[in-house]
Chains A and B, each alone.
Chain A
Amino acid sequence: MNDMRIVERDVETKKVKIAAKNVQVYYGTTHAIKDVSVEIEDKTVTAFIGPSGCGKSTFLRCINRMNDTIDICRVTGDIRIDGYDIYDPKVDPVQLRAKVGMVFQKPNPFPKSIYDNVAYGPRIHGLAKNKADLDDIVEKSLRRGAIWDEVKDRLQSPGTGLSGGQQQRLCIARAVATEPEVLLMDEPCSALDPIATAQVEELIDELRTNYSVVIVTHSMQQAARVSQKTAFFHLGNLVEYGETGTIFTNPVDPRTESYITGRIG
């Protein structure tokens, strides 16, 4: 976490977790995502970078169908997780979202106790057989969220009373409590100070061992620090996608180069 250095990545090929092909997203008449095709690997951190309004968050929200909640939003194309088309009419978005967890830009804990925040997902999905089981899940999730030691003595106090960084880690704990396979993070550190950011980034790196993590970020340093793969979006197009090291040191597209060197965006 100490510098801008791009660490040596293991570049062995992994299983493709999410495969998107020719995805188009329209907000009313606005064409927000133009023909994006991307293959996201399992047990990898993939970063989406790009200037504001380039569609990276929109594309992220397509992966767990959160865009369904926006009336005017229309998605076409093909997104597959483990080979299953998630936009198949037979797929229930609720079930999908249990498999594809999401962490939002602004920490948004429920106005309930810390315990209930984490226990909510397992409860509604029936993941715990009894109270002891649920306690285990809550503890395990809070440990994975790297916040257990800070809150273990006050699990019944409200989650909204935590600091911003703690809240975001609580939200991550909440997201992993349902045992998702993919974790989507929409600028998870934008509301956090550098120390909390470092904690969350460390956490993301740990989560990689279990999940496929997709992170949208405005900070190129962050993308360089945490991700193995990087996708650069510009004006709704996926401009370049590849190994993070390659994107940052040897980009193919001139637009990528201008963006990472700070000339556009």
Chain B
Amino acid sequence: MRYALLALALAPVLAVGMVARAQVANKQSFEVIQHGRYMATAADCTACHTAPGGRPFAGGGALETPFGALLAPNITPDVQTGIGGWTDDEFVGAVRDGIGHGGIHLYPAMPYTYYTQLTRADVLAIRAYLATVQPVRNLVIANQLPFPFNQRESMVGWNELFFKPGEFKPDPGKSAEWNRGAYLVEGAEHCGLCHTPKNVMGGDENGQANQGSVLQSWYAPNLTGNSHVGLGDWSVDDIMLYLKTGRNRFVIASGPMADAVTHSTSHLTDVDLRAIAVYLKSLPPGGGTLPQPISAEDPKMQHGGAIYYNQCAACHGAEGQGIVGLFPRLAGVPVVQQQQATSLIRVVLEGSRAVATAGAPTGPAMPSFDWGLSDDDVAALLTYIRNAWGNAAPGVQPRDVGSMRAALHREAQQSP
């Protein structure tokens, strides 16, 4: 009762205050902050800026790049170690142009190459939201790269070669839904950061957008309309269900995509998910033509088939049919037939836990087979899976299994 009286007493003051502030800035507006929270989720800021087990947005998480390690900075409002002392223009510059506080050049592990498409209003809304999170004093030295990559000035030249700055321009010939989808896919969600092949300098390969790429020992699959390796056979509803729940009739998300579903896509509105799906479905098929399957008589296929029926069929089914929402389908699905088998090798060796979401809470997992299958076994098994039941994809070489195995063992020894 006392609180109610207090609230009544303050109400006129608050109302007057709100009116007055709205005329100069709207950073405290409920709508702006909640919009910023939504856009920060769409941009998946937390994926890098919240370290595993760390405080939200306090930074410190390691980002492995082919050039060395970077640590994600602290973006809480702490004045000394976060972004509390930045001006709005500095924040917008960092997000959209890759030029941070004090004029330093950011590395494109911060996907300004995608965020450049965001509107200034959306970026300022993210800023308004970040101003409301708990400030954390956590000094992060982001640049852990070795010489010469630690020379930030080198990014001036890189940007000239690979960075096309500029806000998203809607295509008036397309629907509002398509344009919203394009804005989210090419901007906030920065899908191409993983799904577009990179050149030796780490820039996007021109003309191969969203055709699949290897990143951190995972293969991010083709997202184009290619029906063999891309989303050609997926419906708009399939894509929406996948992004919302982490699963559909073809696959269950695991690895880095599980994180993207958990932190970002599962929280988007159905309207936005549909827009994303409509846009992705409009991408023309890319990424090569249908290869010839390897003959079932091939000794590797025979070897791999025997292992499959012994070790895999109990869950994935005798015909690779899987169980929706539990055991991924292997027959006729793009993720199995990508150009490179990187993710498949990794999952067989290391095991994998599928994403769990409110809509699909099961979160099933596959065990590790590292201890029981040799390099030859895994290569034959995956060659079989990639060429059985109508599948067709290049065979898998034992040396690729061996190097992945060595890399995973190194990673396991390094992790605490």
A binds B: no
